[in-house]
Every structure is written in structure tokens, then in C-alpha cells.
Amino acid sequence: MTTPQAQMAQTAQIPQNAVEVRDLVKTYAPSKISAEKRALKGISLDVPRGSFFGLLGPNGAGKSTLINILAGLVNKTSGSASIWGYDTEESMRAARRSIGVVPQELNLDPFFTPRELLDLHAGLYGVPVAERRTDEILEAVGLADKAHAYARTLSGGMRRRLLVAKALVHSPPVLVLDEPTAGVDVELRRQLWEYVKKLNQEGTTILLTTHYLEEAEALCDRIAIINHGRLVACDETKNLLGRLDSKRVTVVLADEIKEIPASLNVFDVTLKDGRELEFNYQPSKVRSGEIVRAVQDAGLRFAEIATKEPELEDIFVQLTSGADSEA
């Protein structure tokens, strides 16, 4: 098996970043039915080699345009993009051999079997017959028993797995997953992520776009957020979550109370159902221990305490809620 690590060992100069984008601009020309549109407005970002990288943004933010430029399906207007150290225009063939893309659309030929489809694409990438991993890949994505079934007979989830298999036939060091779990059931989603995490642990760089923010938060070690064609955030996931200076502590009381004690009104606190005190606070200004002591000093007895940490969704909403403004 030719793993991404083996490919890297064979490379004269191993790139620090699997993907590099500099000042990338894409402007779609006007047509009879639409005005000129700037889909990307000077995007610059690095995807570190071996990372599990999330690319997030609302619909129309420019994610698909960026991915299509990396895949060689869309021509950039200006700027540069490279994959595994190869410029997507100057070294087009090498760049395309270095990336595998799992598209959002289920674009499969219904008259090919999975085995035929993988062999065909391996041939298109110039993979010698002796080096093809068709059976291994089909087994890995759980389609070994469907190797000879026509693609049109496969379920939606199986077709999604076949798209992943198709993107892996040439053992690319970079794998792009564009909304891979859209419309996929829970069990299949779990199986898919287990396999993708295994690929990442073996050295494959994963670039993920998804609208399931809880997936991105759980899987990605680094996340970029784009909005209206601009990069609005790019950082390690833990650092990104730390940007939101907000926490919530819910104190469930042992005894019901009719109103909040006056001493607690120095905090942002609300009373729910007579037994729940909900405190919203900024960790940079208030410590949770101060809240606990204040409740105790007010003569209230605890039954339970729960803390809610910031979530990626909170950051995402904060960074993408603004209107677009042309520079």
C-alpha cells in the first residue's frame, strides 16, 4: 500500500503546508441574468501538513469556489494556490495528483460497478494495475460485498462511501470532503468518520467543509471561517473557542425561592421555575468560584451545578452575522 507517509518519504522536499492560498480572488463575469460577482476577495490561508482542517462558512460564502479552484475545476482571477507544494496552474498535473475531492453532489455513473469505477479512475490517474488498491479501498469503505453491483442500485449512503473510495484511488496526500455527511444516517456517519480519522492518523491531510458545526468542533484541530468571500477567522479550534469571552453556570437549588436575593443582582442572573439560577458571565472578569461563594453567602443550598462552555456555533454566528461591505 502506498501511504501518504511513503509518498512524503519519496518527495525531495516535504512541504510544511499541504495547501497554501495567497491573495486568492475569483470574480465571475456578468451575464444576461446576473451581475458581476466577486466570490473570493483576497483569501490567504495555510492548511498544515497532516492536519484535520475545517473550512466553514454560510451558504454563498465562497467555500465551493475555493475548493473548485484547488481541484482545478474553476480558474482563479488572481492570487495563487498550491497543493503539496505544486502550484495549481504552473504544475497542474502534479497538483491534481496530490488531491482527492469528495464532492457534495452524488455524481456517479449508474452503469458502472464500484470495482469498475475505481479501476477506471485509477487508470485516469496513471496508477499501474499492479499498484491499484481497489479491493483494499472497497473493504475499507464497507463496499466489498457490493463490488459487482451497479452504482444505480446502491443506497444514498453507499453512494456517498463510493465517492470517498473514488477520491482515494491515487493515494492523494490531501483529501477534501465537501459536506460528506449531508443526508447520511447516524450509523453511516459514524463509520465514515472512523475511517477518515484513520486516514488522518496515517498522514493524510483532511480538508473538511460542513454545516454540521458539532462535527467540525469534534474532528478538526484547526478551523477557518469565511464569509462573503473573505477570511474572518483561522486558528486552532481550541483558540477559536476561547475567543468568545462568555460562559454560563446553572445552579439548581435544593429549595424553591420566589425571588433572586439582592446580593446576587451584581451578576447577570435569571431565576427559572423557582429553583434554577442561570448566571451568564465573562471569564475574563468573573470567576465561577465567585458565583458559587455568592450563592452560598446568600444562604442558598445547592442541589446541582452545570457549566456551559462556548460552542463553535456561538463563534460562527458572531463572525458571520455581519453584512457584506466591499473594500
Q: How many CA atoms lie within 13 A of 230 on its CB side?
A: 10
For residue 18, the domain's CATH number is 3.40.50.300
Q: How far is CA 6 from the centre of its chain?
A: 26
* Residue 263, pLDDT score: 93
User: Would residue 250 count as lying in a domain?
Assistant: yes
> Whats the size of the chain, residue-wise?
327
Q: What is the pLDDT of residue 142?
A: 85
| 73 in the same domain as 218 | yes
d(CA 232, CA 316): 10
In a domain, 322, yes or no: no
State which of 241, 271, 295 marks the end of a domain.
241
Last residue of a domain, one of 219, 241, 263: 241
| Domain shared by 37 and 172, yes or no | yes
| pLDDT number for residue 327 | 45
290 and 205 in a single domain? The answer is no
Q: Are residues 190 and 302 in the same domain?
A: no
Per-residue pLDDT at 102: 92
Q: What's the confidence (pLDDT) of residue 225?
A: 95
267 shares a domain with 237: no
- Which of residues 241, 261, 293 is at a domain's end? 241
Residue 75 and residue 207 in one domain: yes
pLDDT of residue 170: 94
The per-residue pLDDT for 285 is 86
Is 59 found in the same domain as 14?
yes
Q: For residues 217 and 242, is the Cβ–Cβ distance under 8 A?
A: no
| pLDDT computed for residue 326 by the predictor | 55
Under a CB-based contact definition with an 8 Å cutoff, are residues 173 and 18 in contact?
yes
Residues 218 and 279 in one domain: no
Is 71 within the bounds of a domain?
A: yes
Q: Are strands 52-56 and 222-227 parallel, antiparallel or unpaired?
A: parallel
Are residues 25 and 41 in contact, defined by beta-carbon separation less than 8 angstroms?
A: yes
In this prediction the pTM is: 0.79
Residue 323 in domain? no
Cβ density class 20-40: b for 16+ within 10 Å, e for less = bbeebebeeeeeeeeeeebbb
Q: Are 114 and 174 within one domain?
A: yes
Model pLDDT, residue 323:
61
Query: Which CATH number fits the domain that encloses residue 299?
Result: 3.30.70.1560
- 21 and 125 housed in the same domain: yes
Side chain identity at 129, as an amino acid letter? V
Q: pLDDT, tens digit, for every residue of 185-232?
A: 787 788 888 889 999 999 999 999 988 888 999 999 999 999 999 999
Where the chain has pLDDT below 50, the residues are 1-2, 4-12, 327
- Whether 57 and 226 have beta carbons less than 8 Å apart is answered as yes
The structural domain count of the chain equals 2
Contact 95, 84 (CB under 8 A): yes
Residue whose C-alpha is closest to residue 38's, from 73, 95, 92, 78:
78
Q: Give residue 174's domain range.
A: 4-241
Which is it for strands 276-281 and 247-253: parallel, antiparallel or unpaired? Answer: antiparallel
**H/E element, 87:** strand 86-87
| Assigned C-alpha cell, 152 | 444505480
Residue 169 inside a domain? The answer is yes
**Are 269 and 184 in a shared domain?**
no
Q: Which residues pair with 268 in a beta bridge?
A: 280
Q: Which residues are registered as beta bridge partners of 28?
A: 37
Query: HSE of 176 in the Cβ direction (CA atoms, 13 Å)?
Result: 24
Q: What is the DSSP string of 27-85?
A: EEPP-SSS--EEEEEEEEEEEETT-EEEEE--TTSSHHHHHHHHTTSS--SEEEEEETT
Q: Are residues 236 and 249 in the same domain?
A: no
